[in-house]
Every structure is written in structure tokens, then in C-alpha cells.
Amino acid sequence: MSALLLIEDDPRVQRGLQLALGRHGHDVRTADSGEEGLRQLVESGPDLVVLDLMLPGMDGFEVCRRIRLSGEVPVIMLTALGDDFDVVTGLAAGADDYVVKPVQPTVLDARIRAVLRRSGGAPDGVRTFRDLRIDTDGLTVYLHGAPVPLAPTELRLLLTLSRAPGRVFTRQQLLEQVWEHDHLGDSRLVDNCVQRLRAKIEKNPAAPEYVQTVRGFGYRFGPA
């Protein structure tokens, strides 16, 4: 799992990319201005920054320059279609790569992983918790070395929870990140999917080790 900081002022683009990159196994924090992004950079220490160049106030070029002065965190910039000047200026400011907007999440994910590999900060794509092994690249799950057949929604739920062990996800957050916007408000979808997932990965579904209930709040991935 990689920790990303997305600095983007358009709320629709920001939310869409946050959800999409989350489904690709990244833990994404967001900021809607350059100033807020720099504060988040210090507070959260991300593995990589995805930076929109057209920001209110401090623009992306200046943000990138300041990131470079503060350390070696890789930066991928989002630039307008066909704007070669932005690309050249952004790279000169210290960006590691660029992606043209509108961006396909699969393309951005591939660029993120490539930059992280080059920088030595790439995750290995495998999450191991006790006897449970989750391959986020191959989208396969193994328990005690044997493959676990999961339905697509069960797999997305497991990937979402396991990308941040110990973090509590509300049912609403899981609906948004696993089911996107199709079934907002129907928490029964989450509860039923959790039950099916537990039946496949837990030794004792009534006393789960992995997908744990936090009463009154939601669920967390919490191997002891």
C-alpha cells in the first residue's frame, strides 16, 4: 500500500481520483490548495504527491518547487491536454512525471507505481497478515497458502479495509469506496458482504480476527 497526497481543487475530480486510486490499493489523502497540500505533506509524510498545476493562490509550479526544497518525495503532475509549456515548466520545477487531464485512473495508477519503483519507494503489491496473503497486483487472496475464491465486491471490500489496518471505515465510506455511488445509504449491502467475506477468510466468523466490527461506527481490518 502506498500513501498518496492528491492536491486538486476541483472537488469532482478530487473525489473521483481518490475513490479510484483507493480501489487500486492506495491510501489517498487530499488537499484543495497548494498551501493545504504543503501542510499535509509535513503532517502525513506521503510516499508520492499527485499535483494539479492549476490551483488557486499558490500554483502547482511553486508547490512543486517547495516540495523539492523540503525533500525527495516523488511528484506526478496533472496538466492540461497538449500544453507543452506546462509540461516543460513542471518538469523543470522538479516533477518526476506528468499525466494529461482528463486522466484514466488505470493510467495514473501505472504511472504512480512506475515512479515509486524508480524512487525505491514502491510497495511490493503483497499484504501479509498472519495466515492471510493479499496480492493487490494480481488481485488474488490466499489463506494458509491456498487460494480463496472471492466475488469482485468481496475482494474490493477486503482491499479497501486492508489498505489501512486499524482504521475504522464507516458503512457510508465503504459504500462510496467499494460500491461507488450506486447504493448510497443502503448499509445492508455492507453488512451482508462482510458476512460473506468473513465466512471465507475467518477461522471463526463469529469472532473475526481480520474484519472486525466497531460497534456504532463501522468496520476495520485488525489482525491481532
What is the tens place of the pLDDT at every residue in 100-144? Answer: 888 888 889 888 888 887 776 545 577 888 889 898 878 899 998
Cα–Cα distance measured from residue 56 to residue 33, given in angstroms and rounded to the nearest whole number: 6
**What is the spatial distance between Cα 101 and Cα 120, in angstroms, rounded to a whole number?**
26
Q: Is the peptide bond before 56 cis (omega within 30 degrees of 0)?
A: no
**Model pLDDT, residue 224:** 45
Tell me which residues of the chain have a pLDDT lower than 50. Answer: 122, 183, 224
Range 86-123 burial, b when 16+ CB lie within 10 A, else e = bbebbbebbbbbbbebebeeeebbebbbebbeeeebbb
Lay out the sheet containing 146-147: strands in order across: 126-129, 132-135, 140-143, 146-147
Model confidence, pTM: 0.57
- Name the residue type at position 194: V
144: buried, middle or exposed (CB in 10 Å: 19+, 13-18, 0-12)?
A: exposed
CB atoms closer than 10 angstroms to residue 194: 23
> Is the distance from CB of 161 to CB of 176 less than 8 angstroms?
no
